[in-house]
């Protein structure tokens, strides 16, 4: 069986198609709630890709955090504020057409650069995790090599949380 | 495996730890004691920053690496000191801001400190992940700082634009980083530095792509052309000290990150730095030309800061053409110009804030006759503007001269010529302000007319010079009171019409800036002049630190 038609390859194409379809739907929907659901689809598709690549921990975390928590959070935010909101149809302008051309050119450039390059091939006989399971290796990296950025992320989350409270509080005071 | 217990945390992260601890203390105390004046928290923050400055200065000569992600070397020592010095200026500015505007949000002090913690991380991290987290820490704190002002549509508009553009910039930067990680399997800059040659020989196309994506991603944060569109709205919407923070501290940290990241990763690929020259040229030209028609003072300073970022990017274009020994001169030029730019910009924002607060308008016409009303402020602003334009005897001139010499020395003369020509263009708008300050004042009717026109959003090319309102006034002693009276009485009308005023309703009551603001402006004037007359003060310090030691 040629490598192009192995089961993994077919799964990859199907998942990619699903992700792209969800992303396009997210952009083309006019109702905010549908957009949030489409984003959820993108997240689930990405999780499937991660699992296909053998990164099961990242895949599950993706489902739990993004597809679960974040999509639901977005939905809650929409329901609590203005769930009837729809985006108005916008006509095509010269500016939008130019932006589309620019995006297309950027995409083509990226594609050519990526396809035109012989990428480094990993050696399948070397175990990058040194015998540990994926989850264990991630934990080791996170709490040993990446200790400092890990602690800084907690600082970042504090700032984001406090910032969100400040902005929301003032919005309430304004009304 | 790194040793978690016995790492040199305090040598490498001392200032960062102190600033973070101060931020948390101020935040918790502010939550517990909401009735205390915001100035107390600012004072506490200044004390914490001073402690961090002392720590940074004491450890400036030491060299250590902690957990492969944070380092204490010449780069981090110099940039940490510059960042902390800028922080002191901005907190000092915020101190006067809080005094004059008691309704100003109290969240400023600790959000500024969190932003500084991010900036310090960007200056001292040697791991792509750590650098990125530092950048996000600075960015998120800045987004909140811009949007924190209540009941101001402009503030919200500026914050939303900054948030969206900043997020796109982060995404582009990460995309570029992901290529490098994919090729090398490492995020550590020392590992990447050793693989620089391999990257360029084996994967030239992807290396150029990654360089461009990283440069463009940082271009959003540093407001380089063509990623600068958010800058004027954000600066105009933010409170005075926050605009100064975005223009100086966040740029210093951004350039520190860019310098370390690009030099380590792309040391084997000299050709890619040409792109930095292209973006630098575009930034210098567009920034200066876009500043010409601006009448809103903060918007003009925003475009001016875009142009200055173009000058600051010039050394990046020269790294490819030169060897390690020449880089020392480039580092010196970059740091010198950053310090000079910081003094001039913070000073200019402080004066502009004061003047616009007195007159309740950001239109450039409020500068008319400032030399009569307040010669000291007019003189200080003249020094800053001359410095930004690059007149001799100011730090701006010396900084630009060093950049020019670098371009000639390293055979990239076209960039030097462009720097010279665009600076000549910038004289036009900087001198427009100076002329306004020293010319006799406008008649009352004309003043009202121009202010209203500006509020209605009429920003026309050359308007500034088309109506020379030179009306010689007999009886100068009476004239001054006259105009002041008209301005104060005109204030309530404008309050409803526009939301670009800074004050709360007590503006115009005190005509002299307080001692805090005067000290700040004096420090900035002294900094601009001393560095212009005796640049050796700073250069000897840089030489003593030694870039490669």
pLDDT digits (tens, 9 = 90+) for B32-76: 988 888 889 999 999 999 999 999 999 988 888 888 899 999 999
Q: Give the residue-averaged pLDDT of B225-235.
A: 92
**B488 falls in which pLDDT band (50, 70, 90)?**
very low
**B151 falls in which pLDDT band (50, 70, 90)?**
confident
Instruction: Provide the percentage of residues in chain B whose pLDDT is more than 70.
Output: 86
Q: Give the residue-averaged pLDDT of B145-154.
A: 82
Chain A residues whose CB is inside 8 A of the B136 CB are: 156
Query: Closest residue of A to B13, CA-based?
Result: A148
Tell me how far apart the alpha carbons of residues B306 and B225 are, in angstroms, rounded to a whole number. Answer: 8
Tell me how far apart the alpha carbons of residues B329 and B547 are, in angstroms, rounded to a whole number. Answer: 10
Collapsing DSSP to helix, strand or coil, B306 comes out as helix
Q: Which residue out of A99, A121, A129, A149 would a mutagenesis test of the B interface target, given it has the greatest number of B Cβ atoms within 10 Å?
A: A149
Neighbours of A105 (CB within 10 A): 10
What pLDDT score was predicted for residue B244? 95
Residue A147 C-alpha, separation from nearest chain B C-alpha, in angstroms: 8
**B288 falls in which pLDDT band (50, 70, 90)?**
very high
Q: Which of A70-84, B252-266, B432-446 has the weakest average pLDDT?
A: B432-446
Domain boundaries, given as residue ranges, for chain B: 285-470+510-549
Helix, strand, coil percentages in chain B from 3-state DSSP, rounded to 5: 75, 0, 20
Residue A155 C-alpha, separation from nearest chain B C-alpha, in angstroms: 8
Say yes or no to pLDDT of B256 above 70.
Answer: yes
- CA-based angle B159:B161:B162, to the nearest 5? 65
Residue A170 C-alpha, separation from nearest chain B C-alpha, in angstroms: 6
Determine, for residues A117 and B27 on separate chains, whether the beta-carbon distance falls below 8 Å.
Answer: no
**B443 falls in which pLDDT band (50, 70, 90)?**
low
Tokens (6 digits) for A79: 């329901």
Closest to A45 in 3D by CA, of A62, A64, A69: A62
Residue with tokens 């192995």: A6
Say yes or no to pLDDT of B416 above 50.
Answer: yes
Residue from the list B107, B137, B205 with its beta carbon closest to the beta carbon of A166: B107
Tokens (6 digits) for B322: 């030169």
Low-confidence ranges of chain A (pLDDT < 70): 1-3, 83, 170-175
Strands B64-66, B70-72: pairing kind: antiparallel
Say yes or no to pLDDT of B460 above 80.
Answer: no
**A36-42 LR contacts (CB < 8 Å, sep 24+):** A36/A71, A36/A74, A36/A75, A36/A78, A37/A71, A37/A75, A39/A71, A39/A74, A40/A67, A40/A71
Q: Which residue out of B8, B149, B150 would a mutagenesis test of the A interface target, given it has the greatest number of A Cβ atoms within 10 Å?
A: B150
**B484 falls in which pLDDT band (50, 70, 90)?**
very low
What pLDDT score was predicted for residue B104? 67
What pLDDT score was predicted for residue B477? 33
Output B323 or B467, whichever has higher pLDDT: B323
Residue B255 C-alpha, separation from nearest chain A C-alpha, in angstroms: 20
Tell me how far apart the alpha carbons of residues B379 and B369 are, in angstroms, rounded to a whole number. Answer: 12
Q: Give the residue-averaged pLDDT of B238-263.
A: 94
Collapsing DSSP to helix, strand or coil, B65 comes out as strand
Tell me how far apart the alpha carbons of residues B355 and B353 are, in angstroms, rounded to a whole number. Answer: 6
Residue from the list B134, B148, B183 with its beta carbon closest to the beta carbon of A120: B183
Chain A residues whose CB is inside 8 A of the B151 CB are: 174
Say yes or no to pLDDT of B491 above 50.
Answer: no
A107 DSSP 8-state letter? H
Tokens (6 digits) for B178: 């992901």
Q: Which of A43-57, A129-143, B303-317, B410-424 has the weakest average pLDDT?
A: A129-143
Per residue in B339-370, pLDDT tens?
999 999 999 999 999 998 888 888 888 888 88
Are the beta carbons of B133 and A152 closer than 8 angstroms?
yes
Tell me how far apart the alpha carbons of residues B352 and B388 are, in angstroms, rounded to a whole number. Answer: 15
Output B509 or B390, whichever has higher pLDDT: B390
Residue from the list A117, A152, A173 with its beta carbon closest to the beta carbon of B137: A152
Q: Which of A149-163, B26-40, B301-315, B443-457 has the weakest average pLDDT?
A: B443-457
Q: Which of A106-115, B83-92, B232-241, B444-453 has the weakest average pLDDT?
A: B444-453
Q: What are the C-alpha distances in Å from B438 to residues B209, B379, B479? A: 50, 10, 15
Closest to B137 in 3D by CA, of B186, B170, B89, B95: B170
Say yes or no to pLDDT of B480 above 90.
Answer: no
Are the beta carbons of B350 and B340 closer than 8 angstroms?
no
Residue from the list B117, B134, B147 with its beta carbon closest to the beta carbon of A167: B147
**B22 falls in which pLDDT band (50, 70, 90)?**
very high
Burial of A66 from C-beta contacts in 10 A (0-12 / 13-18 / 19+):
middle
Query: Closest residue of A to B110, CA-based?
Result: A159
Q: Which of A30-39, B17-26, B217-226, B483-492 has the weakest average pLDDT?
A: B483-492
What pLDDT score was predicted for residue A121? 81
Q: Which of B11-25, B160-174, B432-446 has the weakest average pLDDT?
A: B432-446
Tokens (6 digits) for B375: 């010669």
Output A175 or B379, whichever has higher pLDDT: B379
Q: Which residues of B touch A (CB under 8 A)?
A: 1-2, 4, 13, 20, 27, 66-70, 105, 107, 111, 114, 117-118, 121, 125, 127, 129-130, 133-134, 136-137, 140-141, 143-144, 147-148, 150-151, 182-183, 202-203, 205-206, 209
What pLDDT score was predicted for residue B100? 84
What pLDDT score was predicted for residue B268? 85
**B476 falls in which pLDDT band (50, 70, 90)?**
very low
Handedness of CA B130, B136, B141, B146 (dihedral sign): positive
3-state secondary structure chain A: CCHHHCHHHHHHHHHHHHHHHHHHHHHHCCEHHHHHHHHHHHHHHHHHHHHHCCCHHHHHHHHHHHHHHHHHHHHHHHHHCCCCCECCCCCCCHHHHHHHHHHHHHHHHHHHHHHCCCCCCCCCCCCCCCCCCHHHHHHHHHHHHCHHHHHHHHHHHHHHHHHHHHHHHHHHHHC
Collapsing DSSP to helix, strand or coil, B412 comes out as coil
Are the beta carbons of A14 and A29 closer than 8 angstroms?
no
Q: Which of B81-90, B141-150, B508-517 has the weakest average pLDDT?
A: B508-517
Query: Closest residue of B to A147, CA-based?
Result: B67
**CB-based burial, B364-375: b 16+ in 10 Å, e otherwise:** bbbbbbbbbbbe
Backbone angles phi, psi at B99, to 5 degrees: -70, -40
**B446 falls in which pLDDT band (50, 70, 90)?**
low
Per residue in B92-132, pLDDT tens?
999 988 888 776 676 788 999 999 999 999 999 999 999 99
Closest to A29 in 3D by CA, of A15, A14, A39: A39
Collapsing DSSP to helix, strand or coil, B499 comes out as coil
When the pLDDT of each residue in chain B is averaged and rounded to a whole number, the result is 85
Tell me how far apart the alpha carbons of residues A145 and B67 are, in angstroms, rounded to a whole number. Answer: 6
Tokens (6 digits) for B69: 């992600």
């Amino acid at each position: 069986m040629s490598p192009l038609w192995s089961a993994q390859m077919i799964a990859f194409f199907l998942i990619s198609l699903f992700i792209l379809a969800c992303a396009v739907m997210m952009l083309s929907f006019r109702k905010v709630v549908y957009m949030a659901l489409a984003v959820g689809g993108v997240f689930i598709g990405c999780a499937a890709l991660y699992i296909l690549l053998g990164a099961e921990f990242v895949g599950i975390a993706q489902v739990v955090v993004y597809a679960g928590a974040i999509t639901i959070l977005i939905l809650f935010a929409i329901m609590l504020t203005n769930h009837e909101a729809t985006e108005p149809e916008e006509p095509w302008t010269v500016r939008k057409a130019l932006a589309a051309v620019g995006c297309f050119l950027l995409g083509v450039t990226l594609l050519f650069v990526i396809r035109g390059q012989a990428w480094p091939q990993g050696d399948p006989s070397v175990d990058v995790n040194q015998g540990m399971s994926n989850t264990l290796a991630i934990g080791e990296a996170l709490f040993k090599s990446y200790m400092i950025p890990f602690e800084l992320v907690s600082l970042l989350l504090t700032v984001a949380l406090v910032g969100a409270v400040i902005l929301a509080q003032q919005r309430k005071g304004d009304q | 495996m790194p040793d978690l217990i016995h790492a040199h945390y305090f040598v490498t992260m001392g200032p960062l730890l102190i600033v973070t601890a101060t931020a948390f203390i101020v935040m918790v105390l502010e939550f517990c004691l909401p009735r205390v004046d915001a100035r107390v928290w600012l004072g506490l923050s200044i004390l914490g920053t001073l402690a961090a400055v002392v720590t940074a200065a004491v450890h400036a000569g030491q060299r250590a690496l902690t957990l492969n992600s944070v380092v204490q070397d010449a780069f981090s020592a110099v940039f940490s000191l510059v960042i902390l010095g800028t922080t002191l200026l901005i907190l000092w500015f915020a101190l006067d801001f809080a005094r004059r505007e008691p309704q100003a949000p109290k969240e400023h002090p600790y959000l500024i400190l969190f932003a500084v913690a991010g900036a310090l991380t960007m200056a001292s991290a040697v791991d792509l992940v750590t650098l990125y987290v530092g950048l996000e820490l600075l960015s998120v704190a800045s987004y909140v700082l811009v949007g924190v002002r209540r009941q101001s549509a402009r503030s919200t508009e500026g914050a939303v634009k900054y948030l969206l553009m900043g997020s796109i910039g982060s995404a582009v930067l990460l995309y570029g980083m992901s290529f490098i990680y994919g090729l090398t399997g490492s995020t550590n800059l020392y590992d990447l530095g050793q693989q620089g040659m391999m990257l360029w020989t084996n994967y030239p196309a992807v290396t150029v792509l990654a360089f461009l994506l990283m440069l463009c991603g940082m271009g959003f944060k540093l407001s380089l052309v063509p990623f600068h569109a958010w800058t004027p709205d954000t600066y105009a919407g933010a409170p005075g000290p926050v605009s100064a923070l975005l223009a100086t501290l966040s740029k210093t940290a951004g350039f520190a990150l860019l310098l370390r990241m690009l030099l380590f990763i792309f040391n084997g690929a000299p050709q890619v730095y040409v792109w930095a020259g292209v973006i630098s040229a575009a930034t210098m030209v567009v920034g200066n030309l876009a500043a010409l028609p601006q009448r809103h003072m903060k918007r003009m300073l925003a475009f001016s800061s875009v142009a200055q970022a173009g000058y600051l990017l010039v050394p990046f274009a020269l790294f490819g053409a030169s060897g390690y020994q020449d880089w020392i001169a480039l580092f010196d030029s970059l740091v010198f110009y950053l310090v000079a730019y910081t003094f001039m910009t913070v000073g200019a924002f402080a004066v502009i804030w004061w003047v616009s607060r007195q007159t309740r308008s950001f239109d450039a016409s409020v500068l008319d006759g400032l030399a009569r009303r307040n010669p000291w402020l007019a003189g200080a602003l003249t020094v800053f503007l001359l410095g930004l334009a690059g007149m001799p005897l100011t730090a701006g001139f010396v900084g630009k001269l060093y950049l020019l010499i670098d371009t000639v020395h390293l055979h990239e003369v076209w960039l030097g010529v462009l720097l010279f020509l665009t600076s000549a263009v910038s004289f036009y708008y900087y001198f427009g302000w100076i002329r306004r300050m020293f010319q006799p004042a406008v008649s009352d009717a004309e003043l009202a007319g121009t202010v209203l026109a500006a509020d209605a959003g009429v920003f026309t090319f050359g308007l500034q010079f088309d109506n020379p309102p030179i009306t010689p006034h007999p009886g100068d002693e009476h004239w001054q009171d006259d105009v002041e009276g008209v301005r104060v009485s005109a204030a309530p009308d404008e309050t409803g019409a526009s939301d670009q005023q800074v004050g709360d309703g007590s503006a115009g009551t005190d005509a002299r800036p307080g001692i805090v603001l005067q000290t700040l402006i004096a420090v900035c004037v002294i900094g601009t002049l001393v560095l212009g007359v005796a640049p050796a003060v700073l250069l000897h310090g840089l030489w003593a630190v030694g870039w490669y030691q």
